[in-house]
Chain A
Amino acid sequence: MEKLLEIKNLHAEVGGKEILKGIDLTVNYGEIHAIMGPNGSGKSTLSNVLAGREGYEVTEGEVIYKGKNLLELEPEERAREGIFMAFQYPVEIPGVNNSYFLKAALNAKLKHEGKPEIDAMDFLTLVRDRMKIVEMDDKFMSRGVNEGFSGGEKKRNEILQMAVLEPTLAILDETDSGLDIDALRIVAEGVNKLRSPERSVIMVTHYQRLLDYIVPDFVHVLSDGRIIKSGDKSLALELEEKGYGWLLGEDEAA
């Protein structure tokens, strides 16, 4: 199978503190990886490093994406190359219109791919279609980005953006947190619609629930900046049952 993403011995600091302490992870095209792990273990840090957020300093290791060094790309270049991170806490950006922001994002990507920009009509058709997937109302598009959105609406808006931008690698950082049962199903459907042999997903989650809807190929447990255990979907069930204690003990013993 062809590799989409290869993380090798990744160390990263935030605010001068080492958070990621040697991550190794390979994601092939078409795979879905779930990352679980206790609060503060570094899941969001990993997501942010992959998305290129400022202040997340890589001190060691490498990340190869589509055969290229990901770490030397600007965040927007990563996005145009097909990386999409759904934020754990999507920010509200008052006054930046949801619709024209998304259009600008899509056009940036199309331009990068050497394709013509999308016109207003086609864009509208596309967005309407994708909004159906996440069951979002038209009125959200004329509002500011996440402005005054409820927690669940923000998460849905992330998935809408994902559905429009059709990333090659989607990194979903706890997109399931704070969703009601219906919204969870809706979000999961959005992800499943995107599923294809050309795309991969990294899902950060705390709950087995999401994995009932989006069945992962692999489950990894991140603890204190390292992946301490990898397995298939049954690992998530085991974690649900036993918690992280037994793993952490195992780690210490090792």
Chain B
Amino acid sequence: MSTMEHYRQIFADADMVGKDIDWLAAGREKALAEFEQSGFPTSRNEDWKYTRVNPIEKKAWNWSGKTCVGLDPEDLNDYVFERKNSHVLVFVNGWFQPQLSTKHELPQGVTLSSMAAQIADGADELKPYLGKIAQNNNGFMALNTAFSNDGAYLHVAQNVTLDKPVQLVFIATRQSDPVFTNTRNLIVLERGAQAQVVETYGFISGEPENFTNAITEAVVAEGARLYHNIAQRESEQGYHVSTVAATVAKDGHFEQNAIAIGARLMRTDINVALTEPGAHATLNGLYLPHKRQHMDYHTFIDHAAPRCTSEEVYRGVLDDAGRGVFNGKVLVREGAVQTNADQSNKNLLLSKQAEVDTKPQLEIFNDDVKCSHGATIGQLNDLHIFYLRSRGLDEGQARSMLTYAFANEVVNRISLEPLRDRMSMAILDRMPGGEELKKLV
């Protein structure tokens, strides 16, 4: 069976929800056709030059049907930082698991549910948004749209603040056949609304060779504030491809921290459109490939209106034969006067085999802008190492302390404290000498 026949086949067989909803079914069908047309991106495509997806393409990924999973909420403690003060929605192999989730009472005007449930109970509410914020820019996105089924749906009404953060936890488990999940999340903040969302991608039971193909769409209306976090902690045998697409309206605020620790191969696109005056985006990111991991962040900030601001801080720590890619595109359109955009990408190479490609890409179409960008690739500073050693720290300790400090430039920007602590620990867990550092910090 050819690749396309394979996906056509499982598309027909999959127990997706909402197969009987015309607009949804048509959208999926159209997306599948797009995927059949485009296939997976190749390195001939400039946007995919440094990231070859052949290992994903070569495998015949299977649909994971809705099954019972023998897990307890405690099994997720690695990924859930706390349950008392946050809403926790857990998904396993693509499906929402109410028995593993914790939902507290929600303020008036807030909907928080699984996408599958929302499709079943009120798909029309989704119609104005689904696929409107994220277009199917590439084969992965088309594939996601074709197979999109479950995920999280959060809707916050005008001027409502969702005080407790929302933790979305996506877990892969080991399966006999390689399985892909096409998580689709939608976050809508109406005018003046506020919410904090954490997407965590992880695994349980061995190191599954899974393929996460996720899309999150976010709408930030006038004056609304969305704090969005992604902790990518997939299995190092797994693949993670995802896109976050957000639109930010007048004086809206979108702030994101993306931390990449897991996956054998990761590609994440973050596309933020500042569509009305005064909109703001903060994008922070940290990628930590080691061994033979490959991590690719493509960010795109579209300054489409006057007086918008954006700030971007991405850091890479690359060890062993780890490979990193950072592509930061900032587009300032003709009418987007008084734009203020800062971007910085710094990379720390810890080994000779580690590599990174960094490309700031500024496209500015008017004169009334303040833009800055800087990209560096370097090693630990010898004088810093000597200073620490001259006080009695051994070389390994000095190196891990300096590496941790470098990574923390991003981690410290996470405003949600329990998440920040978790991320610090997760980083120390996989750093040489991290155990010892843990005792100090």
A binds B: yes
Task: Spell out A's residues near B (CB within 8 Å).
Answer: 51-54, 74-76, 78-80, 84-85, 87, 90-91, 93-97, 100-106, 108-109, 112, 144-145, 161, 165
Give the interface centre of A74, A85, A97 by most chain B CB atoms within 10 Å: A97
Q: Is the CB of A93 within 8 A of B384?
A: yes
The residues of A that contact B386 with a CB separation of less than 8 Å are: 53-54, 75
Contacts A53-B386, A91-B384 given; does A105 touch B391 at CB 8 Å: yes
Q: Is the CB of B392 within 8 A of A105?
A: yes
CA distance A165 to B393 in the complex (A): 12
Of B381, B406, B440, which contacts A100 at CB under 8 A?
B440
Give the interface centre of B384, B388, B406, B408 by most chain A CB atoms within 10 Å: B388
Smallest CB–CB gap between A105 and chain B, Å? 4
B409 at the interface (CB under 8 A from A): yes
B427 at the interface (CB under 8 A from A): no
Smallest CB–CB gap between A173 and chain B, Å? 12
If over half of B's interface residues share one DSSP class (helix, strand or loop), that class is named, otherwise mixed; here it is helix
* B367-389 near A? 1/0 per residue, CB < 8 Å: 00000000000000111101111
CA distance A90 to B395 in the complex (A): 19
Of A75, A95, A103, which contacts B409 at CB under 8 A?
A95
The residues of A that contact B404 with a CB separation of less than 8 Å are: 95
The residue on B at minimum CB distance from A81 is B392
Contacts A53-B386, A104-B397 given; does A165 touch B405 at CB 8 Å: no
Of B382, B390, B406, B441, which contacts A52 at CB under 8 A?
B390
B357 at the interface (CB under 8 A from A): no
CA distance A85 to B381 in the complex (A): 19
The residues of B that contact A97 with a CB separation of less than 8 Å are: 441
B25 at the interface (CB under 8 A from A): no
What are some 30 contacts across the A-B interface (CB < 8 A)?
Answer: A74-B394, A74-B395, A75-B389, A84-B390, A84-B391, A85-B390, A87-B387, A90-B387, A91-B387, A93-B384, A93-B402, A94-B409, A95-B405, A96-B388, A96-B401, A100-B441, A102-B391, A104-B397, A104-B401, A104-B440, A105-B392, A106-B392, A108-B391, A108-B392, A108-B394, A108-B397, A109-B392, A144-B405, A165-B391, A165-B392
Contacts A54-B382, A104-B440 given; does A94 touch B389 at CB 8 Å: no
Give the interface centre of A85, A112, A145 by most chain B CB atoms within 10 Å: A145
CA distance A108 to B391 in the complex (A): 9
The residues of B that contact A109 with a CB separation of less than 8 Å are: 392
* B48-80 near A? 1/0 per residue, CB < 8 Å: 000000000000000000000000000000000
CA distance A46 to B198 in the complex (A): 54
Further pairs besides A74-B395, A93-B387: 6, Cβ < 8 Å: A94-B405, A96-B388, A96-B401, A97-B441, A100-B440, A108-B394
The residues of B that contact A85 with a CB separation of less than 8 Å are: 390
Contacts A104-B397, A104-B440 given; does A96 touch B392 at CB 8 Å: no
The residues of A that contact B389 with a CB separation of less than 8 Å are: 52, 74-76, 79
The residue on A at minimum CB distance from B409 is A95
Contacts A104-B397, A104-B440 given; does A96 touch B390 at CB 8 Å: no
Chain B interface size range: 20 to 34
List the 4 closest pairs (A to B, CB-CB), nearest first: A95-B405, A108-B392, A79-B392, A105-B391
The residues of A that contact B406 with a CB separation of less than 8 Å are: 95
The residues of A that contact B401 with a CB separation of less than 8 Å are: 96, 101, 104
Smallest CB–CB gap between A141 and chain B, Å? 13
The residue on B at minimum CB distance from A89 is B383
The residue on B at minimum CB distance from A144 is B405
Smallest CB–CB gap between B439 and chain A, Å? 9
Smallest CB–CB gap between A20 and chain B, Å? 18
Q: Is the CB of A93 within 8 A of B390?
A: no
> B325-381: which have CB < 8 Å to A?
381
CA distance A103 to B388 in the complex (A): 12
The residues of A that contact B381 with a CB separation of less than 8 Å are: 91
The residues of A that contact B390 with a CB separation of less than 8 Å are: 51-53, 75-76, 78-79, 84-85
The residues of B that contact A105 with a CB separation of less than 8 Å are: 388, 391-393
The residue on A at minimum CB distance from B384 is A93
Contacts A75-B389, A103-B440 given; does A95 touch B383 at CB 8 Å: no
The residues of B that contact A94 with a CB separation of less than 8 Å are: 405, 409
The residues of A that contact B382 with a CB separation of less than 8 Å are: 54
The residues of B that contact A96 with a CB separation of less than 8 Å are: 384, 388, 401-402, 405
Q: Is the CB of B402 within 8 A of A91?
A: no
CA distance A85 to B389 in the complex (A): 11
The residue on B at minimum CB distance from A95 is B405
The residue on A at minimum CB distance from B391 is A105
* B395-428 near A? 1/0 per residue, CB < 8 Å: 1010001101110110000000000000000000
